[in-house]
Amino acid sequence: MALRRNCNARALPGQTPPLKKLNVLQKYAAKNRLHIFFSQGIYIKQKNGARARNKGEYFMDRKITEFNLKNEKICLEQTAELPIEADFTLAEYLGDIKKTLKCKAVPFVTAKQLSGNTATVDGTVLISVMYEDADGTLCCGEFEQPFKKSFDGNEELETAGFEVSCNAVLNTCRAVTERKLSVKGVLRLKVTLKKVAQHNIIADIDAPDFETLCGQAETVLPIGITEKSTVIDDGFELPEEKPAIFKIIRTDAAVHTEEPKIINGKVMVSGSLSLCLLYSDKSCAVQKTQQQFPFSQIVEIADITEDCRCSVTGELCSLNLTTRTNAEGECRSVAVVSRINLTCKACCLQTVPLIFDAYSTRKKTDFKTEEVPFTKLAKQVNETFLCKKQIDLPEEAETICDIWCDPADCSARPSEKGLTLSGSILCGALHQNSEGEFGYSERMIEFEYPILLETPIAAPMCKPKITVSNCEYRPNGRGGAELTVKLAINATVYSAESLQVLTGLTVDENTPAVDDNAALIAYFAQSGEEVWQICKRFCANRKELLEQNDLKEDRLKENKMLLIPRM
């Protein structure tokens, strides 16, 4: 529908506005001449300091602000199974095997190497066998089996963060002779390598002829991952009330880290090594002692500030105990040498400005959008949890010598108020019957730990690390025991989402945004339509459309004729 040659308006195809509305358009065009396009290059209107002349061409500076968004991407994730096969002979000071009680395999990662596109893991599996000898004394034989495994990726890995998780399971453990043992099992390795990926996104467009649909997103910007080893070279004396050590039966150790502190661009890490030693005295009675060895370490991470967040995990790489004999010939002191690998991961929290959609009211513009991942830190957890359970023991168990616990697995699932950690603990019990013979039994107990979040997350990401700090027990008088297990919980909860955002644009300065010279458009909108989509369709200024049509909201609540001014 043309009003005049120099003062044009149109209705959509198939839609004829009523005569009354045509009169409204005529009056609007006459009253608002400065908003109507004239083809003679006369000064029309000033908009945001830009001037229209020479057939409406704008002379302006467009300022485009880009943001370099960094996030982690997995560049290699593989698993492998290595066989454990060992035949070993007992040390000379150990007695002959009468009955095997418990076989256990504990893997230690001693080195990680990156070369080109290959990641290599070195370590040892410590195999320990608890048994009763011919004299009815508890003994423990140990053997180390080294392992090495390489994983090949499709890209260069030397700058990647290197994570390794491993566990060992023994399928068979039998005494071939009174002095020789044969064990078979499997070692499971999982390696995960992550690199920092970069996405250049458009954060802002400062130009009078551009309309943008903006927003923002909170995200975690990775700063770096650093690994550093610390060595504990210490020892302890047995309390006076404890008898001297005759034979060591079992050794358990766990690393606990406290919440790190960032001071002057450095990470201050502190924690402790918990050591539990089960031994027999000269009367063959089972004794137990527990020790704590604190440690502290300074870790440097480039570009870290006090506004950053940092998480630390500690892994035991090696543990050596040496008993010492005093002048009376008694073993009452133990030398402890341990190496702990600390992994520090730093990140910063930042709110990133985004553009979800854009268009130009003047020039034809091609926009590039991409789906970009954003990771948000929901909560960091470094707490302890008391798990209380009842376990049953075999009927023949008359005396409990010791009960210890090892975490078996743990996973996270969403809940109404946040997140729930669900896991299991393997409880081992050493006991004696009425005749003084030793026996061993195992029970699996379950636990749950709630993590409360301010805002529930639909798809949380969390890899919790659970260690046993302490295990206390007491007989319940019903053929079992009441356990109190102190668990150290270290977990970082993330939420992830992918957003379609603007990452690039190309302006064709020689081609107008629309191929007509209409100054005014009558558009009959339906209820539920969005003003943004209407403006984008006709390359119109959103603010002017809202003002001219007396609209307060972006979504229309009723059918309405809109007058769309064009530059």
Q: What is the pLDDT of residues 458-467, one digit of tens each?
A: 778 898 999 9
Question: Residue 418: which region, alpha, beta or left (left: phi > 0; alpha: psi -120 to 50)?
Answer: left
In which band, very low, low, confident or very high, does the pLDDT at 367 lie, cut at 50, 70 and 90?
very high
pLDDT over 50 at 316, yes or no: yes
pLDDT reported for residue 567:
62
0.85 cut: is pTM over it? no
pLDDT reported for residue 366:
95
* Average pLDDT of the segment spanning 498-521: 88
- Beta-carbon contacts of 277 under 8 Å, excluding residues fewer than 6 positions away, are 248, 250, 251, 288, 289, 290, 291, 321, 334
d(CA 467, CA 460): 22
Q: What is the 3-state secondary structure (H, E, C) of 2-33?
A: CCCCCCCEEECCCCCCCHHHHHHHHHHHHHCH
pLDDT over 50 at 13, yes or no: no
Taken as a whole, the chain contains a residue count of 567
pLDDT over 60 at 43, yes or no: no
pLDDT over 60 at 15, yes or no: no
Q: Looking at per-residue confidence, does 32 or 92 come out higher?
A: 92
d(CA 473, CA 400): 9
pLDDT reported for residue 243:
95
pLDDT in tens, 264-312: 889 999 999 999 999 999 888 999 999 999 999 999 998 899 889 999 9
Give the closest residue to 257 by CA, choosing from 356, 179, 342: 342
- Beta-carbon contacts of 482 under 8 Å, excluding residues fewer than 6 positions away, are 388, 389, 390, 473, 474, 475, 476
φ and ψ at residue 535, rounded to 5 degrees:
-60, -40
* Average pLDDT of the segment spanning 72-87: 93
d(CA 459, CA 441): 39
- Beta-carbon contacts of 27 under 8 Å, excluding residues fewer than 6 positions away, are none
pLDDT reported for residue 51:
32
pLDDT reported for residue 204:
94
Q: Looking at per-residue confidence, does 517 or 386 come out higher?
A: 386
Provide DSSP, 38-77.
-TT-----EETTEEEETTTEE----EEEEEEEEEEEEEEE
Residue 455 per-residue DSSP state: S
pLDDT reported for residue 245:
94
- Beta-carbon contacts of 143 under 8 Å, excluding residues fewer than 6 positions away, are 86, 88, 126, 127, 181
Amino acid, single-letter form, for residue 455:
T
φ and ψ at residue 242, rounded to 5 degrees:
-90, 140
φ and ψ at residue 149, rounded to 5 degrees:
-145, 135
Cα 75 to Cα 152, 183, 194: the distances in Å are 11, 36, 6
φ and ψ at residue 53, rounded to 5 degrees:
-160, 175
pLDDT reported for residue 407:
87
Q: For the chain, what is the mean pLDDT? A: 86
Give the closest residue to 472 by CA, choosing from 485, 454, 488, 456: 485
φ and ψ at residue 546, rounded to 5 degrees:
-65, -45
Instruction: Show the tokens assigned to 423.
Output: 């896991």
pLDDT in tens, 186-207: 999 999 999 988 889 999 999 9
pLDDT over 60 at 21, yes or no: no
Of 107-111, 243-247, 476-480, the poorest mean pLDDT is in: 476-480
State the burial class of residue 16 (Cβ atoms within 10 Å of its Cβ: 0-12, 13-18, 19+): exposed
pLDDT over 90 at 393, yes or no: yes
